[in-house]
Amino acid sequence: MSNTYHQVYIQTIFAVKYREALIIDECKSKILSVIGNLINETGCKTIIVNGTEDHVHCFLGLKPTVSISDLMKIVKGKSSKYINDHQLTKCKFEWQEGYGVFSYSQSHIDAVYKYIANQEKHHKKQNFKDEYLSFLDKFNIKFDERHIFQNLI
């Protein structure tokens, strides 16, 4: 074939280091916007980025020439640099190592979009740790709970 056609939808989830509540309302929209722009700069297509004070969900169309690990390295690295350079948080900002990534079909786009758009409401009922563990369970991902989250020392 002379062209490459693709349709790959993924959701990524990543947390603030130690799951600290550093993404406050005053800086949240800027941080989410920066993350969305960084995704687009890789050639991927941002569908929605949202989260709460301690984590972020990104739903996007993945460009087949961009690896997920490269995408996450760029998004997490450049966004934390931006956050620190512009002093958007009260202390040094870092993302926790690692991330979750989950794939979806075309028929799931609306439901995933709505789920991410309603993060604040959703997290009034369920904390981030329980949410993340439910994703791993739903997608049948084996894990060792000792290595899911980095705790404060």
Q: What's the CA gap between 126 and 120, in Å, rounded? A: 10
| Residues recorded for the chain | 153
Pick the CATH number of 9-142 from 3.40.50.10800, 3.30.70.1290, 3.30.9.10, 3.40.50.460: 3.30.70.1290
- pTM, two decimals, is 0.91
Q: Residues of the chain with pLDDT > 90: what percent?
A: 76
Q: What's the CA gap between 83 and 23, in Å, rounded? A: 10
Q: What are phi and psi of 89, to 5 degrees?
A: -125, 165
Domain positions in the chain are 9-142
| pLDDT of 150 | 66
Segments of the chain scoring below 50 in pLDDT:
153
Q: What is the pLDDT of residues 23-48, one digit of tens each?
A: 999 999 999 999 999 999 999 999 99
Q: What's the CA gap between 150 and 39, in Å, rounded? A: 25
CA angle 98, 24, 11 (to 5 degrees): 35
